[in-house]
Chain A
Amino acid sequence: MSDDWSPEAVDFVQSLADTKLMLSHWYADQAFLGPNMGDNIALFSMTQDEYGQVRQFYLQLDRQGRDEDWLRSERDTGNFYNAATTDGPAADWTEFEVKFGLTDRAALLLLDAIDHEDFTGLTDKMAEEEYSHTDFHDGWLEQLAAANPAAFQAALEDSLDDVLAFIGPAAYDEDTDPLYASGFTDRSVAELRDAFLDYLAGIVEGTDVDVPDTTEVPLESWNEERRRVAAGSIEPDVLETIRGSKNTEFAAE
């Protein structure tokens, strides 16, 4: 354990943790609904993976002074730094895969860029677990882009800017990205955005879906803590569900 994390690094890790917490929640929410039984099995498994990763991120954050009790049960919705794509549920399966599948991929790119001794092994293990997530999501994204291009295009236009804002502003290159400059990550936001857009181009290749022109995230309107431009947050009833407020009597001691 070390105490050389910058304040930006602590916010960054909280944003990853909170995004994964919400992915876990929406995966669980969908896990009885298919589309197929094979999807339910995958969704339950991914729910558990994400939650396990959140637990490890929270332990790291607690050591950096971001109290675990506060993270788990004391903060309000505005103090969740989750990607804007994970604020609410998806209207249908295409939207689910586009916004949550792409957010899961973006989160993997971000955590894989962490290059700090406190994460040695930890992020390798996470990337290992995420293999089944990318295998699942890529299978569905390719299928839906080919079979249902209009709905896929609409969902992509709704979500892409929010996913990219979660990765960060394009203006953060190797000279200006504070996480890269401090050595916390080994790739700048600009490089991670390019990697994500390359990946997305591969998903829709040969289909009628086009990657929409992306809006540059203006640095002054980007919220560094919550890694988004948009306002908004999870709803209070969602907060109550992820905290398990109504089930405290069943919690293990």
Chain B
Amino acid sequence: MNYEVFTRISAGDDLKHIGSVEAPADKLAKNYAKTTYDEEDWATMVLVRREDLVRVDAGRDERVEAGELV
């Protein structure tokens, strides 16, 4: 499963998309995100399953692909 990683450095900053991880389950995805994107002491780090992203700019059911996000 693919997960998109969103973070902010300090409270009040915009939440930014910084990358993605691939993992078989949520718990491992969290572990990978923490260890892979450890360059900041993030105030917020959240994951969104890529399959849960809802496209707005075209047909509703179309999948969002990894390459579109970076």
Contacts and interface: CB of A to CB of B under 8 A. Distances in A.
> Per the CB under 8 Å rule, do A and B touch in the complex?
yes
Interface of A: 36-39, 41-42, 45, 132, 135-136, 138-140, 142-143, 147
Interface stretch (B8-16, B29-37, B55-63): B29-37
A42 B29 CA distance: 12
Residue with the highest number of chain A CB atoms closer than 10 Å, among B27, B30, B31: B31
B67 interface: no
A132 B35 contact: yes
A209 B2 CA distance: 27
B33 to A, nearest CB: 8
15 contacts: A36-B22, A36-B23, A36-B32, A37-B36, A38-B36, A41-B32, A41-B36, A42-B31, A132-B31, A135-B31, A135-B34, A136-B28, A136-B31, A142-B27, A143-B27
A38 B35 contact: yes
Contact of B25 (A38, A39, A139): A139
Contacts of A142: 25, 27
A138 B31 CA distance: 10
Main secondary structure of the interface of B (DSSP, over half): helix
A41 B32 CA distance: 8
A143 B28 contact: yes
B35 A41 contact: yes
Q: 6 closest A-B pairs (Cβ-Cβ)?
A: A38-B32, A139-B27, A139-B28, A143-B25, A41-B35, A139-B31
A105 to B, nearest CB: 15
A38 B28 contact: yes
Given A41-B36, A132-B34, A139-B27, 17 more contacts: A36-B22, A37-B36, A38-B22, A38-B31, A38-B32, A38-B36, A39-B32, A42-B32, A45-B35, A132-B31, A135-B31, A136-B31, A139-B25, A142-B25, A143-B24, A143-B25, A143-B27
Interface residues of B, number: 13
A75 B30 CA distance: 42
Contacts of B30: 139
A138 B35 contact: no
A93 to B, nearest CB: 11
Contacts of B35: 38, 41-42, 45, 132
A183 B25 CA distance: 42
A42 B35 CA distance: 7
Contacts of B34: 132, 135
A114 to B, nearest CB: 27
Contacts of B22: 36, 38
Nearest to A45: B35
Nearest to B33: A38
A73 to B, nearest CB: 32
Nearest to A137: B31
Contacts of A138: 27
Contacts of B36: 37-38, 41
Given A45-B35, A132-B35, A38 B21 contact: yes
